[in-house]
Amino acid sequence: MISTFVALSLGQVDPWIAICSLATVFVTVFMGFWSATKSKSAGDFFVAGRSVSVGWNASAISGEYLSAASFMGVAGMVMATGYDALWYPVCYACGYLFLLLFIAGPLRRFGAYTIPDFAEGRYDSPLFRKIAVCFVLFIGFFYTMPQMKGAGTTLAYIFPGLPYWAGVVVVGAVITLNVSLGGMKGITLVQAFQYWLKMFAIAVPIFILASIVGFYHTHLGANKTAFEATANPAHVERLALPAKAPKDEQWIAPFGKLTTKAVDASLAAAKTPEAKAELEAERRPYSLLYTYSLIIALVCGTAGLPHILVRFYTNPDGVAAKRTTMWVMILIGIFYVFPPIYGVIGRSLTPHLYDAVGAKGTDKVVLELPTLLAGKDHALLGSILSGITCAGAFAAFMSTFSGLLVSMTGALAHDVYGRILKPDSTPEQRLRAFKWAAVLIGAVSILLGMQVEALEINFMVGQAFAIAAASYFPLLFMSVWWRGMTMPGAAAGMLGGGLAALVAITLTSISDVAAAGAKKITDASQLAAYWADHSLAKVLADTWVAHPLARILCEQPAIWAVPLSITLMLVVSKSTAAKIPGDIRMKMLVLHAPEALGLKQEYIKEHEGLGH
Amino acid sequence: MRSIAISKGAAWLRTPMSESNPNSPQSEAFLARLMRDQLRLSIACALCFAIALVALPLLNYLAPEFMAQRVAGFTLTWLILGVLFFPFVWVISFVFIKRSIALEEAEAAAAPQTNQR
């Protein structure tokens, strides 16, 4: 079936784009297979034997971190909404600082394999481990969805006849196969390679492109601010913006379309002039609130993403973990300067993307922009550069999805199978379990990814971060720095904050997906029937219109969910103070004492001669 | 194949004698000082960062015209958020890593030599 689609669309496929993309896939798969011959033991599969050097590990973390959201989503979002979208790359990069300041060192010293290991070790509670495992899987699935959207969008771009869902299936299947064969050791190598591929793929095309069509500042300068009487003299070529595109002064200034969406929707529905005036007055304060909530979600969420945290255990010691974080910040900081440039130039030169929706919308500006050179007598160069950005996009969603798959599969195989279902399983059985868990999780991710074509890549990642910010971040932060935490307190805070954020976010997504479906229907009677089928979404959409503040707080829940989680932890821990682990001082020493003191205890001991 | 082995620490950690010595890793005073010093450093660095994160939206809110002035084609606020924020964070993290490694060395030196590897 897929081959039919490929055959149908092959006539329009640019050979350079197809070659670069296929090369990326083959190199990734080859490296996975090649390293599979080297990783034999269960330890190799889970955390790469804990001996990856700082340079490799920093590149690998960066490679894993720079997802489809960073590579394609940030550019698309900057193009679609302007200044406010810049918070995403900034906080993606800067959230790492929080990880470094409060969590990276202690967690590494504690020496547990995974977050569930840490949860169990810190509170001596197997029950809490099970709860933590469920959360690893939960947050992970929220983060796989945007990667799948990236895959579907890119394949639909390369093969214009291929439907979105087919792209999701093909890419998901390839990565799942790769992970189930290579494990984490393969992934470290592949991730590191992919960081440098992505860096090359985002930086080189934009330099060449900008030297021909004009640089970042000239394109940005062509957008008029609200305080400039006339438009700037056009130094660069600019195509007319369609009606759907935000106006210059709104796009370039803070508190634009992204943060005022909820109030604008209410304004459109408001009937009396008084109601309109009231909403106008609320617009800017609400935007500020939205911005702060977004910042909290992204900064704290970074510090709580399970697939990032697990990598700290692949450092040989705590000092190396800190140095690794420093390098990660430099590597991803440099990278994040580039995607907004695509968004800015895309606004000038590819405004037709504003009119498209789903996989054909602004999310593909990174892929589309280089092909403009074809119209400027650089046809071959345009194809090659577009091929390079496609390769980068492949590297982006493949590496992040691989990393997620490893951490989620690890949780399933190591915890659910190895600890709960079959504690006496042999190493061979566990390896087999790892492979099957990878297939299972890959399949679920593909199914989920097929549902989210209507949602922006970057927006979905922001939501995964909000859930992580309200669950894992408080758990890790409080467990590391507060001796008085008890297991019930930790569980109540993590579940309370995380689930509250999850529910709030799901409510907004349900109404957004339904609204996107409604937009495709033009006939009024069919529309009524459609909304009757989606009554919950209808109720939600009406609620958002009546109460824009509620919509903002549900869409960006971090501002209330993080304090809620921490408060729950404090209150419940205080009231169950008798349950503080007896050897809490020892645990705190292991978390905080310098490793030179020789206090470092490997929490989980690997027995000699087993698993090799 | 692995199993859980919750470590109770080396034998010297359990000797009651070391409880009263404020330099012994076993003592309450050592742990309290350790955590206080580390947390103080982390919070100081986090504050620099948090102030910037709180201030920028606030400046955008209160002084939109000032933040919209052009600096080499960029608006001031775009230049800060899109470009300058990254080096700022590198500086904070570089200072933190240097100080935190120095802190650990000082702590290790303060503890009795016999406890070191």
Mean pLDDT calculated for residue range A206-215: 81
Q: How much of chain A exceeds pLDDT 90, in percent? A: 3
Least confident range of A2-11, A15-24, B72-81:
A2-11
- CA-based nearest residue to A381, from A505, A211, A189, A502: A211
Q: How far apart are CA A239 and CA A551, in angstroms?
A: 34
Q: Number of folded domains in chain B?
A: 1
Instruction: Give the start-to-end residue ranges of the domains of chain A.
Output: 18-595
Q: Inform me whether the C-beta atom of residue B5 falls under 8 Å from chain A C-beta atoms.
A: yes
pLDDT at residue A565, as a whole number: 93
Least confident range of A456-470, A495-509, B14-28:
B14-28
Please give the model's pTM, rounded to 2 decimal places. Answer: 0.84
Query: Is the pLDDT score of B16 beyond 50?
Result: no
Mean pLDDT calculated for residue range A447-453: 84
Q: Tell me the pLDDT tens digit for each residue of A494-553.
A: 989 988 998 888 888 888 777 777 777 777 777 777 777 777 777 888 888 778 888 888
Mean per-residue pLDDT over chain A, rounded: 78
Q: Inform me whether the C-beta atom of residue B28 falls under 8 Å from chain A C-beta atoms.
A: yes
Torsion angle of the four alpha carbons A272, A277, A278, A282, in this order, in degrees rounded to the nearest 10: 140
**Six token digits for residue A268:** 């459109």
Q: Tell me the pLDDT tens digit for each residue of A548-584.
A: 888 888 888 989 999 999 999 999 998 888 888 777 7
Of A329, A430, A597, Cβ closest to residue B25:
A597
Mean pLDDT calculated for residue range A282-307: 83
Of B8, B90, B97, Cβ closest to residue A333:
B90
The stretches of A86-125 forming alpha helices (DSSP H) are 87-98, 105-110, 115-123
Residue B3 in any domain: the answer is no
Inter-chain touch B68–A336, beta carbons under 8 Å: no
Mean pLDDT calculated for residue range A465-489: 88
pLDDT at residue A560, as a whole number: 92
Residue B105 in any domain: the answer is yes
pLDDT at residue B25, as a whole number: 62
Inter-chain touch A97–B34, beta carbons under 8 Å: no
Of A90, A97, A225, Cβ closest to residue B93:
A97
A273: exposed, middle or buried (C-beta count within 10 Å: 0-12, 13-18, 19+)? exposed
- Given a contact cutoff of 8 angstroms between Cβ atoms, the answer to whether A83 and A251 are in contact is yes
**Six token digits for residue A351:** 């405004």
Where is pLDDT greater, at A530 or A129? A129
Name the minimum distance, in Å, from the CA of A98 to any CA of chain B: 7
pLDDT at residue B20, as a whole number: 52
- The neighbour count for residue A55, using CB atoms within 10 Å, is 12
Amino acid identity at B72: A
Inter-chain touch B57–A225, beta carbons under 8 Å: no
Mean pLDDT calculated for residue range A441-451: 88
Residues of chain B in contact with residue A597, where contact means CB-CB under 8 angstroms, are 25, 107-108, 111, 115-116
What 3-state DSSP class applies to A522? Answer: coil
Name the minimum distance, in Å, from the CA of A317 to any CA of chain B: 12
Where is pLDDT greater, at A29 or A196? A196
- CA-based nearest residue to A63, from A402, A303, A363: A402
Residue B102 in any domain: the answer is yes
Question: What is the number of CB-based contacts under 8 A between chain A and chain B?
Answer: 186
Name the pLDDT band for A596 (thresholds 50, 70, 90): low
Find how far residue B51's CA is from the centre of its chain.
16
Name the minimum distance, in Å, from the CA of B89 to any CA of chain A: 7
Residue B39 in any domain: the answer is yes
List the domain range (segments joined by +) for residue B59: 24-110
State in words which class domain A18-595 has.
mainly alpha
- Given a contact cutoff of 8 angstroms between Cβ atoms, the answer to whether A438 and A132 are in contact is no
Q: How high is the ipTM of this complex? A: 0.81
Inter-chain touch B78–A86, beta carbons under 8 Å: yes
If contacts are CB pairs under 8 Å, which of residues 76-115 in chain B contact chain A?
A: 77-78, 81-83, 85-87, 89-90, 92-94, 96-97, 100-101, 104-105, 107-108, 111, 115
